[in-house]
Structure 1
């Protein structure tokens, strides 16, 4: 695991986990889905783990 990540990315992770979709999370956060996708990907890279299973129906937490 790489040290140091943007703690703010946890807000994006939580929003996706709650909403189940990038678009739903983006609405909750007042941003666009591309930003949400980038932030979740950055968090996954920072911690070295896949946080979501991506399906056609949405995002499911891996834990």
Structure 2
């Protein structure tokens, strides 16, 4: 069985291939950091609801 080659998808020089793949990493890093940043309010709402027993914030979270 023939192994699939990256040249079938990117028939360019190795330098261009490396530049393409290296350009993806900052985008993925930015995406994952934004996902973590977006989850901070949710985590803080759970913390307030269960550890500080401020149920009004948790009820607001459940409603929306």
TM superposition score normalised by structure 1: 0.33
Higher strand share: 1
Bigger RCO (CA 8 Å, 6+ sep): 1
